[in-house]
Amino acid sequence: MTIAENVFPRRQAFSGSGKKLFRTLTVTLLLSTAFGAQAKLDEANKVYKPVAPTIEQARANILIARQLQFTHFRDLSINNQLSDEVFNAYLDYLDGQRIYLTKQDISKFDNVRPQLGSALKTGQLQPGFDIYNLVQERIIGRLKFALNVIDQGIDKLDFSKDESILLDRSKADWEPDTAALDELWIKRIKNAVLAQRLNGTDDDTIADNLKRRYEGQLKRAYQARSEDAFQAYMNAFTGMWDPHTSYFSPRVSENFNINMSLSLEGIGAVLQSDNEYTKVVRLVPGGPASKQGQLQPADRIVAVGQGDEKPVNVIGWRLDEVVDLIRGPRDSVVKLEVIPANASDETVTKTISIKRDQVKLEEQSASKDVIHLKRDGKDYNVGVITIPTFYADFQAMQAGDPNYKSTTRDVRKLIGELEQNDGIDGLVIDLRNNGGGALQEANDLVGLFIEQGPTVQIRHANNEVQVMKDEDPSVAYDGPMVVLVNRMSASASEIFAGAIQDYGRGLVVGSQTFGKGTVQAVRPLNHGQLKITQSKFYRISGGSTQHKGVIPDIEIPSRIDKNRIGEDALDHALPWDQIEAVPHTRYFDFSNVIGELRKRHDQRFAKSPDFKLLQREIDFLNKQREQDSVSLNEDKRRSQYNQIERTRLTIANARRELHGEKPFDSLEALEKWQDAQAADLDKTDEEMDFVIKEGGYIMADMLDLDHNMASIITPHQFAAQAPAK
């Protein structure tokens, strides 16, 4: 059958002008086919043009090396050992999953590997560019191979073999040669096909999706620029000092917002490069992504679409280009296809639609609530203040506005309202998911709960220690406190929680915090900018918040994977250490009661349906995370997939029943409901989550022990103990 017969099998039905139309369409189709064949031929004959370093880049390299050696907090020499580490980090950046290079390729740079340090000192960039160019050539070769496999038909792939594929190859051995890589890539393609088949996608659509993915990556590889190689090489170099020290190219430096925090104008998310993916680091409180609720930290973005348009695959794209694609006009919709953080493998994706908007200061503001509890015939009112971020309206402040908004001012006002309207017996400060913000606000907020004294120590690269203090003797609240934290509580949140813990002003409850205890500054170069770590935070008790974070007095398990999120999950993170403590008041010693408080908490959680469900979900997620490979046998894979989906539905329905809601009939019904919930940006949480309630129960335990044990001081006396010795 000809092309024309395939499209118009009933040729005899055309007459008159219809015949003319048919001939036109036939010629058009034939020309289209000819052009398509020519395009494939052109693509096959296309040659990668190696990129080369510039004089400006060489000068910038020398300046970066000097800054790192003489001004970074970490004292690190550029020597042969560093050369080897830079080489490995660079390969991890360019081929983190070890799917492009072979052992034979790596051996080509045996002579270069030990010389990278001295070359980077003097601006000799060619060795790094040679490595980059080889990787780009290998990427192009691999993608052409993948496209050829798909062109032969995915129906030719055998899914009956008892095969499996490693999910994370970052620690795997390099394949010995090209033939071994061919086998690996066939497995990768089979894995991608299976993942989409299990989602109900037909083979024609799967083939089209994969072709678009690989063709997009191939196009990016051919468009490699000198600046791409330089930025990748410099970030492998700067990353040796710590993960927060990095180089920004002139293109990235154009926008201060992107340069300093990578905050995406429009959806409110902080991103970073993660090998060939773009990874979500955290969500900006009050932003569209946070309110929408589906995008989560550690999700990896693989495609971006505008409105109803088909998403563009962004695997292998530069971070600034992904940012440009996500940003857009207010009220427009961006679609993100992501690999969820808890996905069983990298071929499992979901699509999230987010309406772009500005992050309003008032939506990040502190808010209040009250927990009413009854314990042994006694009524307790526990105030709750939720602080999404440490904010301050600096523009209004500089303009002299007496009513400018800030965390401390708002919290002081909320405390007054709680005490006046509700007569609270205790206070819970919720810092979960608070990624930090204005350092001065953390200092001032501590001051609301102590009379006077130090709040945090800052040690600089020259070992000089600066102590920030609360100079205001007034206290906004002197009663018992609980501070809630989790793994996403970072920086300023850790300073506040650590100070409250060190002063004995309250109990810290939740999970170990992020551990971000460093301070960065951005310094201009002749070509781009360098963000460099220059200082480190220490608690007033002397221990750093870096790496270790704040350890809660009472721990509550979390769904967040500590092995993937947190400072101690980052390569070359500065270690925890300690300096001398500074004199400070110890308002209360919890050592006499903490054992009993933990015991009561454990007993309560053992009976709590909410906690049992949370633990069940954590166990399910941990089991998924422990899976290091997936089967490529379709029957086995489908069985595993169905089991996972049944568990998801079971857990979701258990939560529905717990709240007196009708369970879902199917997974499709659950996903439809989740999409509807995510689309409703005006929704509010009708029921206070059980972790906040547990904070209230712990507070009631503290008050109960206070009433029944002579060694426990009353809430009024809570801030009147002698200084620690």
Question: Both 393 and 273 in a single domain?
Answer: no
User: Looking at 326, 355, 384, which one is the last position of a domain?
Assistant: 355
In the chain, the amino acid numbered 404 is Y
**Domain interval for residue 83:** 55-238
Do residue 93 and residue 20 come from a single domain? Answer: no
Q: What percent of the chain has a predicted confidence (pLDDT) above 90?
A: 55
For 403-421, the pLDDT digits (tens) are: 888 999 999 999 999 999 8
In terms of domains, do 522 and 374 share one?
yes
Q: State the pLDDT confidence band at 31, using cuts at 50, 70 and 90.
A: very low
* CA gap 200, 189 in Å, rounded: 17
Evaluate if residue 693 carries a pLDDT over 70: yes
493 is catalytic: no
Rounded Cα distance, 38 and 28, in Å: 15
pLDDT of residue 362: 58
C-alpha–C-alpha distance, residues 402 and 169, integer Å: 57
Q: Which two tokens stand for residue 536?
A: 């480190």
pLDDT tens digits, one per residue of 86-143: 999 999 999 999 999 999 999 999 999 999 999 999 999 999 999 999 999 999 999 9
Mean pLDDT of 296-308: 87
Fill in the amino acid letter for 451: E
* CA separation for the pair 172, 188 (Å, rounded): 15
Q: Are residues 491 and 425 in the same domain?
A: yes
Mean pLDDT throughout 623-647? 90
pLDDT digits over 328-370, tens only? 888 888 899 898 887 766 667 888 888 888 766 556 789 999 9
Say if 616 falls within a structural domain.
no
At which residue do the structure tokens 């551990």 appear? 515
Question: Across-strand partners of 465?
Answer: 459
For the chain, how many structural domains are there in total?
4
pLDDT tens for each residue of 516-573: 999 999 999 999 999 999 999 999 999 999 999 999 999 999 888 888 889 999 999 9
Evaluate whether residue 669 is within a structural domain: no
Q: Are residues 214 and 351 in the same domain?
A: no
Structural domain includes residue 691? no
User: Does some domain include residue 149?
Assistant: yes
Q: Which of 190, 279, 291, 516 is catalytic?
A: 516
Across the range 224-253, mean pLDDT stands at 91
Asked whether residue 688 is domain-assigned, the answer is no
Residues, the chain, total?
A: 725
Query: Among residues 588, 608, 627, which one ends one of the domains?
Result: 588
Q: Mention every residue, 6+ apart, whose C-beta is less than 8 A from residue 481.
A: 426, 427, 428, 429, 449, 500, 505, 506, 507
Catalytic residue from among 83, 290, 491, 544? 491
Q: Could you tell me if 81 and 214 lie in one domain? A: yes
Cα distance between residue 666 and residue 142, in whole Å: 40
The full DSSP string for 570-600 is: STTPPPP-B------B----GGGTHHHHHHH
pLDDT of residue 58: 97
460 forms bridges with which residues in the sheet? 535
Q: Which has more confidence, 539 or 624?
A: 539
Residues 6+ apart with CB under 8 A from 345: 167, 191, 195, 630
Task: Encode pLDDT of 255-288 as tens digits.
Answer: 433 333 334 457 888 888 777 788 888 887 778 8
* pLDDT reported for residue 18: 42
**Per-residue pLDDT, 27:** 40
Closest to 91 in 3D by CA, of 135, 127, 125, 50: 135
Residue where one domain finishes, among candidates 300, 335, 355: 355
**Among 281, 252, 265, CA closest to 325:** 265
Q: Based on the fold, state whether residues 97 and 220 are members of the same structural domain.
A: yes
Question: 63 and 95, same structural domain?
Answer: yes
Q: Based on the fold, state whether residues 554 and 583 are members of the same structural domain.
A: yes
CATH number at residue 302: 2.30.42.10
Instruction: Output the pTM of the full model.
Output: 0.84
Q: Are residues 307 and 435 in the same domain?
A: no
Q: Are residues 413 and 326 in the same domain?
A: no
DSSP state of 347: T
CA 190 to each of CA 217, 340, 443, 460: distance values in angstroms, whole numbers, following the listed order: 18, 20, 55, 52
Q: Is residue 92 annotated as part of the catalytic site, yes or no?
A: no
For residue 187, count other CB atoms closer than 10 A to its CB.
Answer: 17
Residue 217 lies in a domain: yes
Residues 565-606: tens digit of each pLDDT: 899 999 999 999 999 999 999 999 898 899 999 999 999 999
CATH assignment at residue 408 = 3.90.226.10
In a domain, 563, yes or no: yes
- Whether 373 and 299 map to the same domain: the answer is no
Q: In the annotation, is 502 catalytic?
A: yes
With DSSP H G I counted as helix, E B as strand and the rest as coil, what are the percentages for the chain, rounded to 5? 45, 15, 35
Catalytic residue among 502, 561, 701, 704, which?
502
- Taking alpha carbons only, the member of 220, 203, 78 closest to residue 150 is 203
